[in-house]
Each structure stands twice: as C-alpha cells, then as structure tokens.
C-alpha cells in the first residue's frame, strides 16, 4: 500500500532544501512548531489541510505544484508496486516447474 | 486559503458517482464506516493516508490519478483566489477616480 504522507513529506523537504532554508525558518514562517514540521517532512504525521496550506505559503509554492509533484511520485511508486506484484506472481511458476520435473525423473528412476 | 480536503472529497465523490456506486457500497469495499466516507467526501474530515489508500483501492482508481485531479482543481482555485485578490486591490482605484472627477466638477461649478 502506497502511503501519501511519506511522499508528501519528501516533496515538502525537497522544496525547503532547494531554497536553502532550515526547518526553524520555515516552521516560524508557517506558524507551526518545528517538531510538527519535522514529523510531517519525515512522513510520521498527517498534515491537516490548514497546516499544509500554511507550510506551502511559507515555502511560497502553490499547493497545486506540490500535489502535481506528489502525483508524479505516486505514479512511480504505483508502477514499482505493480512490477513487484508481477514478479511475485511469475516467480513461483519458474521455481515450481523444474522441481516437478525432477520429482518425475526421481520416481521413474 | 484553499483547503485540500474539500477538493479531495469532491474528487472522490465524483469518481464514485461516475461508477454509479453508493456510499454504502464503497464504504463496505474500503472497510471504512459509511459516516466517515461521507464526511471525507463532504470535506468535513481529513482522510488519513491509510484510509485514502483504502478508498482509492475500493474505487479501483490509482492514488496518482486522484492527486493529479486534485492538483488541477487546486490550480483553478488558486487562479480564482488570485483574481479576486487582484480585483480587491484594483477596485478602490476604479471607484475613486470618478468620484474625484465629479468632486472637481462640482466644486468648479
């Protein structure tokens, strides 16, 4: 299951670091506690709509930009999860066939 | 301030209605209470990342699609808010000028 808060936190941290700003600076501008912003960036806490808007305003980045970036990251994660699921379902077939063959050979010998 | 949860709820409701499904059906498939799903759709409750993933899975729609649609709606709202702010700052100028002109005419007459 792909979780949004981790990807959202990554996008917010990338945007902040790209501006060369500290957690302290952005948390002060957004009027959120430093600890809260840090947890949001690390995907450990869900950001409410109000606080997300405040953080984006402090970063001077439109919410629509942040959501577009999260959408792209989600699409990448979804493709990865789909590829892993595909690999998991195709692996047993490859592993099972030789085992069945050798069983037949062993019992025929 | 543009709030995400209202736009997110709108997108989820539109997706559900497009499939001709009821709140009861989707809430059962997503294993969330009907009341909770209803509140999320109406933008009255924030959806946690886990429950958002469950709802999207129940709707058989990738999270990335939902976020792309929310991003588009956010961009529209942001443009609207910017236009309103622009109108508010330009309105006093438009209203003031004729008043000043007529004052001059009145005092000249």
Mean pLDDT for A23-32 is 97
**Model pLDDT for residues B37-83, shown as the tens digit of each residue:** 999 999 999 999 999 999 999 999 999 999 999 999 999 999 998 99
Name the minimum distance, in Å, from the CA of B95 to any CA of chain A: 31
Buried b (16+ CB within 10 A) or exposed e, A52-66: bbbbbebbebbbbbb
**Model pLDDT for residues A80-103, shown as the tens digit of each residue:** 989 988 888 886 655 555 555 555
Q: Spell out which residues of chain B touch residue A53, defining contact as CB-CB under 8 Å.
A: 1-4
pTM score:
0.79
Rounded Cα distance, A92 and A89, in Å: 6
- Inter-chain CB pairs, A–B, below 8 Å: 70
Q: Check residue B1 and give its pLDDT.
A: 81
Mean pLDDT for B14-31 is 97
DSSP assignment, residue A44? S
Mean pLDDT for A8-21 is 98
Asked if the Cβ–Cβ distance from A62 to B75 is below 8 Å, we say: yes
Task: Write the ipTM.
Answer: 0.79
Asked if the Cβ–Cβ distance from B68 to A63 is below 8 Å, we say: no
Asked if the Cβ–Cβ distance from B53 to A5 is below 8 Å, we say: no
Name the minimum distance, in Å, from the CA of B71 to any CA of chain A: 4
Q: Work out the percent of chain A whose per-residue pLDDT is above 70.
A: 83
Q: Check residue A102 and give its pLDDT.
A: 54
Residue from B60, B78, B63, B61 nearest B4 by CA: B78
Whether the CB-CB separation of B12 and B66 falls below 8 Å is answered with yes
Q: Spell out which residues of chain B touch residue A57, defining contact as CB-CB under 8 Å.
A: 1
Q: Check residue A88 and give its pLDDT.
A: 86
Q: Check residue B17 and give its pLDDT.
A: 98
* CATH number, domain B4-108: 1.10.260.40
Asked if the Cβ–Cβ distance from A49 to B74 is below 8 Å, we say: no
Residue from A25, A35, A40, A97 nearest A70 by CA: A40
Q: Work out the percent of chain A whose per-residue pLDDT is above 90.
A: 72
Question: Closest to B53 (Cβ–Cβ): which among A3, A63, A67?
Answer: A3
Q: Check residue A90 and give its pLDDT.
A: 80
B interface mutation test: which of A3, A4, A39 has the most B CBs within 10 A? A4
Closest-CA residue of B relative to A51 is: B3
The alpha carbon of B2 is separated from its chain's Cα centroid by a whole number of angstroms, namely 7
């Amino acid at each position: 299951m792909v979780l949004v808060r981790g990807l959202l936190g990554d996008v917010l941290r990338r945007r902040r670091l790209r501006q060369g700003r500290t957690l302290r600076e952005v948390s002060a501008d957004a009027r959120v506690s430093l600890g809260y912003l840090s947890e949001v960036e690390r995907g450990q806490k869900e950001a409410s709509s109000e606080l997300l808007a405040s953080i984006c305003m402090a970063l001077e980045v439109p919410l629509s930009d942040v959501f577009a970036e999260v959408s792209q990251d989600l699409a990448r994660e979804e493709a990865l999860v789909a590829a892993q699921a595909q690999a998991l379902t195709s692996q047993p077939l490859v592993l099972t066939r030789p085992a069945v063959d050798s069983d037949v050979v062993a019992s025929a010998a």
